[in-house]
Amino acid sequence: MTEVRSENRAELSNISPVILRSPESSSEVLGPINQQADNDEQLIEIWLHGRPKNTQQAYSREVRRFLDAMNKPLRSIKLLDIQQYTDNVPPCLKESSVKRALSAIKSLFAFGFRLGYLSFDIGRAMKLPTFRDELADRILSETDVLRIISLEPQPRNRALLLTLYGGGFRVSEICSLKWRHLQERDSAGQITVFGKGGKTRTVLIPQSVWEALIKLRDSESSEAPVFRSRKKGHLDESAIWRIVKKASERAGIDKDVSCHWFRHAHASHALDRGCPIHLVQATLGHSSISTTGRYLHARPTESSGNYLPF
């Protein structure tokens, strides 16, 4: 057998085996790649890199909580450890929160395996929990949305609520708006946002929303924020959440309304009024038509029960 030369031994020690797919067939073959991370912290840093800020914060929080509970390196964690962790999730957590946490863990193990840092993707065997889709519970009626907006006395806050609803924007997209992101179109205008997944989209804005926005402008600078804080900077997400919460309470809405509920309302009300589903998809920036289709299932306009003999 050919002896391995001493200068190559160090190189070979840094190579981890991974499963590669042969281009000629669907069979899997064993092949080496250079290790891309030296420790767990470095792997997590690479895994989070380039993700949206909110995703980074949420995923990092869930993975840190998991690793603290495990109290051992990723390479030492077994499937049984993960199963015991999921069996002991605090009952006070929402099912959706549990699913998000487990999704983050699965994603990290899959990423570590693809990089050759982990020998096995034990997360693949994890089963994510299923739960009742509560989207229908979070869709406000047209009357409720208009009451929330009309009872808001502060012009900036009213324009903000109108923009959330009229454009179906995410709160993160609203926070970063500058005047250069708004362009006039005939009697109304359009807003360009940098959204989830690093995607840019441009949304036409109804005239009533546009007029409310233009009244807020008191600076010639195109870099000035559209929705300014008291310190003349951008409103942060927590401030917008407080505005929405206070406005919904003022309107007598006995629900825990969040900023995202205006996005749900936009999609549902537009579909109810006959808007093509592909247009709603484009406006909201959904990557899949099936995501937009959830609103049709949440508020159906027809039922086979109407055809029964009673």
pLDDT value at 13 more than 60 = no
- Band the pLDDT of 1: cuts 50, 70, 90: very low
263, 264, 266, 269: which one is catalytic? 263
pLDDT at residue number 303: 73
217 catalytic per annotation: no
> How buried is residue 271: exposed, middle or buried, by Cβ count under 10 Å (0-12/13-18/19+)?
buried
* Strand 200-205 relative to strand 188-194, pairing: antiparallel
- For the chain, the straight-line distance linking the first and the last C-alpha, in angstroms and rounded, comes to 85
The 10s digit of each residue's pLDDT in 296-307 is 888 777 777 777
pLDDT value at 50 more than 90 = no
User: Residues near 124 by Cβ (< 8 Å), separated by ≥ 6?
Assistant: 106, 109, 110
What pTM does this model have? Answer: 0.70
Q: What is the mean pLDDT of the chain?
A: 84
Q: What b/e readout covers 277-310, taking b as 16+ CB neighbours within 10 angstroms?
A: beebbebbbbeeeeebebbeebbeeeeeeeeeee
pLDDT at residue number 305: 73
Range 219-246 average pLDDT: 93
The 10s digit of each residue's pLDDT in 183-204 is 999 889 999 998 887 789 999 9
59, 85, 117, 295: which one is catalytic? 295
The 10s digit of each residue's pLDDT in 96-110 is 677 788 889 999 999
Bridge partners (DSSP) of residue 33 are 16
Bridge partners (DSSP) of residue 20 are 29
99, 196, 228, 299: which one is catalytic? 196
170 catalytic per annotation: yes
H and E: helices and strands count for the chain? 13, 5
pLDDT at residue number 221: 92
295 catalytic per annotation: yes
Return the structure tokens found at 65. 């909580």
Q: Judge contact between 102 and 85, C-beta under 8 A.
A: no
> Apex CA 191: angle with CA 187 and CA 196, to 5°?
160
181 catalytic per annotation: no
pLDDT value at 71 more than 80 = yes
147, 158, 170, 269: which one is catalytic? 170
Q: Cα–Cα distance between 40 and 271 in angstroms, integer? A: 46
Question: Percent of the chain having pLDDT more than 70?
Answer: 86
pLDDT at residue number 22: 42
> How buried is residue 206: exposed, middle or buried, by Cβ count under 10 Å (0-12/13-18/19+)?
middle
Range 129-157 average pLDDT: 89
pLDDT at residue number 247: 97
pLDDT value at 130 more than 90 = no
10 or 101: which leads in pLDDT: 101
Return the structure tokens found at 291. 């995501």
Go through the domains of the chain in sequence order and give each one's CATH number.
Answer: 13-125 (1.10.150.130), 136-298 (1.10.443.10)
